[in-house]
Amino acid sequence: EIVLTQSPGTLSLSPGERATLSCRASQSVSSSYLAWYQQKPGQAPRLLIYGASSRATGIPDRFSGSGSGTDFTLTISRLEPEDFAVYYCQQYGSSPAITFGQGTRLEIK
Amino acid sequence: EVQLVESGGGLVQPGRSLRLSCAASGFTFDDYAMHWVRQAPGKGLEWVSGISWNSGSIGYADSVKGRFTISRDNAKNSLYLQMNSLRAEDTALYYCAKDRGWELRGAFDIWGQGTMVTVSS
């Protein structure tokens, strides 16, 4: 099973700042089958990024994903108030064993 | 409107069974793989199980293997999760999620609102 480790656990930033979230895999994620999700309190997760760097439908271009192999990054270029939430990475390359990271909480400073 | 609606959750005693359902609408259900994902109170996301478009490929998390069974009825646009031998650690909000592809190789682009399962005596 591929273990995903996200860092930091909590990130405190102000609106307008740039956010960089990390996701490290215990072994290489094949074909960049890596996704990022956003979850707000009381809501289901929302897909942001798939294939490591492709934005899902309707996702603003301030969200971008990068990386390959074992190291992946989600960047939010300029934080908006609605971006403060929990973010999860997920690998779906080692089918059928799909795994999520433990999450990064992005909070308002 | 693309929608997934879960049902079947509730309070159940340890060792008992429960069957969850997920009704899909607004897309061609039998073109896509489907998944169950759970979230224990205050915790992160855990993938539980997935099934390909034609039920030819099925996977389970180790934590539920041998106890849970996923299935789908494409004629009814429905996904199911039969949960047997339930344990306290199965207590969670269970989400139904749509895969972007037909095999278990896509990210999850549509999610339901979840159904709560509480295992307690």
d(CA B10, CA B86): 12
Residues in chain A closer than 8 A to B105 (CB atoms) = 33, 92-93, 95
What are the pLDDT digits (tens) for B8-23?
999 999 999 999 999 9
Q: Do A47 and B57 touch (CB under 8 A)?
A: no
Q: Which residues of B touch A46 (CB under 8 A)?
A: 111
Task: Look at residue A104 and tell me whether its pLDDT is greater than 70.
Answer: yes
Q: ω before A8 within 30° of 0 (cis)?
A: yes
pLDDT for A95 beyond 70: no
Average pLDDT on B34-46 reads 98
Is a pLDDT exceeding 90 seen at residue B96? yes
pLDDT in tens, B49-69: 999 999 999 999 999 999 999
Is B59 within 8 Å of chain A by CB? yes
Q: One-letter amino acid identity for A95?
A: S
Mean pLDDT over A83-107 rounds to 92
Segment A47-67 shows an average pLDDT of 97
| A44 contacts on B by Cβ (under 8 Å) | 95, 111-114
Q: What is the 3-state secondary structure (H, E, C) of chain A?
A: CCCEEEECCEEEECCCCCEEEEEEECCCCHHHCEEEEEECCCCCCEEEEECCCEECCCCCCCEEEEEECCEEEEEECCCCHHHCCEEEEEECCCCCCCEECCCEEEEEC
Beta bridge partners of residue B43, listed in sequence order: none
Closest residue on chain A to B46 (Cα): A100
